[in-house]
Amino acid sequence: MRKSESRVVMSEIFNELDLFLTEHFQTEENLFDSLPYSAAAGHKEEHRNFTRKVHRFKAEFEEEKIGLAVDVMNFMCDWVVNHIKNIDREYADIFTGQRPGGYLGGPADTWNH
């Protein structure tokens, strides 16, 4: 694959990731906004911060400030995996009834199954 081709592929990956994140985060936030989830604001902030980072990486890539960005890709993959395993896990457990409130100790008595 020539350099110009690989840049096009990388640009498409950034665009797909951006679309995926926008839809995924919005779906997730709609879901946890319907729950007694005390960490919702912090969780949304994590989503916003990561989205901002992805936009910044994409801009730097397109301005050719960064190259093929394997480190950037690794960072983004690690973020997504850790976020799903840790932060998303919290509200998923509330959703499935395995946890009564947010990890900040939301009031269990407001949670009616």
Q: How far is C-alpha 106 from the geometric centre of its chain's CA atoms?
A: 23
Min separation Cβ 46 and Fe ion, Å: 7
- Residue holding tokens 């992805």? 54
Our finding on whether 88 is near Fe ion (CB under 5 A) is yes
- Kindly report the number of other CB atoms within 10 A of residue 54's CB atom: 18
Our finding on whether 29 is near Fe ion (CB under 5 A) is no
- Kindly report the number of other CB atoms within 10 A of residue 96's CB atom: 8
> Given the rule CB under 5 A, which of 6-14, 52-60, 86-94, 97-105 is the region that contacts Fe ion?
86-94
Min separation Cβ 31 and Fe ion, Å: 10
